[in-house]
């Protein structure tokens, strides 16, 4: 397969060990069949970096403590520089910090940031309202990052009320995020897309023996699934062969038509 969209790509410079830096990543992912890709950095914004990478690179910003967490100025600047995806906290997420030491967070254990709270007693903190208003104003994608799925539902519900139209749930089956089967119906009602991909499947298979994609695809509308490899860390495969192996393993499960829709059409709809 080729010409598809990857919503989750890591490169260097980074505080984490990466297979490639920004000078190399475009050629590498294009060689693996990727046409457009979202550069993600736990350390902050990739908006400027994506401009320099060029081609199909798409910038984003992760709202961890290094950028001030719920910082509307950081979001406004990144968005004006072309960032299309606004990620809720990852390394700074309270769910991530509670999951420290679990298999799915082990490769990130040497990178620690201050916590960035999102909810208290199940209610979104008001400090996030300005961030959501900017996401709505600029019509950006709001991604859940590493916050708990219950928190993501709360954030997306308020964001929808404030005019946000595009939602992405990242690797929801990772154990520390608190996924429950009833989340399928709630997230589908919100029109949230769910990411399936290489790293999430490898982690889930190592813990349960089955892939996250097999579980999600069996219970969620196919038109709301997109591809996000989450590759780049040296503890996991490089984009090639990682993506090629994932496609080979996933096509018999989903079928060529369904897989092609997830990796191309749905991604275009989320970004269009």
Strands 141-143 and 85-87: parallel
What pLDDT does 108 receive?
Answer: 79
DSSP assignment, residue 120?
A: E
Split at pLDDT 50, 70, 90, the class of 207 is: confident
C-alpha distances (whole Å) from 203 to each of 88, 95, 107, 197, 211 are 21, 17, 11, 11, 8
- Residue 110: the pLDDT is 81
d(CA 81, CA 62): 14
Distance CA 86, CA 90 (A): 11
Residue 109 pLDDT level (bands cut at 50, 70, 90): confident
Q: How many residues does this entry show for the chain?
A: 272
How deeply is 109 buried, as exposed, middle or buried, from its count of CB atoms within 10 A (0-12, 13-18, 19+)? exposed
Distance CA 60, CA 103 (A): 26
Element (H, E) at 245: helix 239-254
Would you say 159 and 142 are in contact if contact means Cβ atoms under 8 Å apart? yes
Is 79 within 8 Å of 140 (Cβ atoms)?
Answer: yes
Query: CB atoms < 10 A from the CB of 244, how many?
Result: 15
Residue 73, Cβ density class (10 Å: 0-12 exposed, 13-18 middle, ≥19 buried): exposed
Is residue 20 within 8 Å of 9, Cβ to Cβ?
no
Q: What average pLDDT does this structure show over 58-86?
A: 98
Q: How far apart are CA 38 and CA 48, in angstroms?
A: 13
User: 3-class SS at 233?
Assistant: strand
Dist. CA 116–CA 130, nearest whole Å = 16
**pLDDT band for position 76 (50/70/90)?**
very high
- Say how far apart CA 57 and CA 231 lie, in whole Å: 15
> What percent of the chain has a predicted confidence (pLDDT) above 70?
99
Q: Three-class SS of residue 42?
A: coil
Task: Give the number of other CB atoms < 10 A from CB of residue 196.
Answer: 29
Residue 121 has pLDDT above 90, yes or no: yes
Band of residue 46 on the pLDDT scale cut at 50, 70, 90 = very high
* Mean pLDDT within 172-180: 94
Residue 220 vs residues 79, 184, 196, 212, 223: alpha-carbon distances, Å: 30, 6, 11, 12, 9
pLDDT confidence of residue 2: 83
What number is the average pLDDT over the span 115-139?
Answer: 98
Looking at the predicted structure, is the pLDDT value of residue 249 above 90? yes
**By three-state DSSP, how is residue 6 classified?**
strand
Cis status, amide bond into 13, omega within 30 of 0: yes
């Amino acid at each position: 397969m080729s010409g598809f969209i990857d919503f989750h790509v890591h490169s260097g410079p980074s505080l984490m060990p990466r297979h490639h830096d920004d000078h190399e990543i475009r050629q590498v992912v294009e060689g693996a069949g990727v046409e457009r890709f979202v550069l993600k950095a736990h350390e902050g914004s990739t908006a400027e970096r994506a401009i320099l990478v060029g081609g199909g690179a798409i910038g984003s910003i992760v709202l961890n403590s290094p950028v001030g967490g719920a910082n509307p100025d950081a979001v406004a600047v990144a968005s004006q520089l072309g960032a299309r995806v606004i990620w809720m906290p990852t390394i700074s997420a309270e769910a991530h910090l509670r999951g420290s030491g679990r298999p799915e967070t082990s490769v990130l254990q040497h990178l620690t940031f201050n916590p960035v709270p999102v909810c208290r007693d199940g209610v979104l903190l008001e400090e996030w309202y300005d961030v959501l208003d900017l996401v709505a104003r600029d019509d950006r994608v709001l991604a859940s990052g590493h916050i708990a799925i219950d928190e993501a539902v709360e954030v997306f519900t308020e964001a929808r009320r404030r005019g946000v139209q595009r939602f992405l749930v990242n690797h929801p089956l990772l154990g520390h995020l608190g996924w429950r089967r009833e989340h399928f119906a709630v997230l589908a009602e919100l029109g949230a897309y769910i990411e399936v991909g290489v790293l999430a499947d490898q982690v889930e298979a190592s813990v349960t023996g089955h892939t996250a994609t097999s579980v999600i695809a069996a219970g969620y509308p196919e038109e709301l699934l997109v591809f996000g490899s989450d590759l780049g860390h040296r503890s996991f495969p490089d984009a090639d062969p990682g993506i090629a192996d994932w496609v080979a393993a996933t096509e018999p499960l989903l079928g060529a038509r369904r897989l092609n829709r997830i990796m191309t059409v749905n991604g275009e709809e989320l970004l269009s």
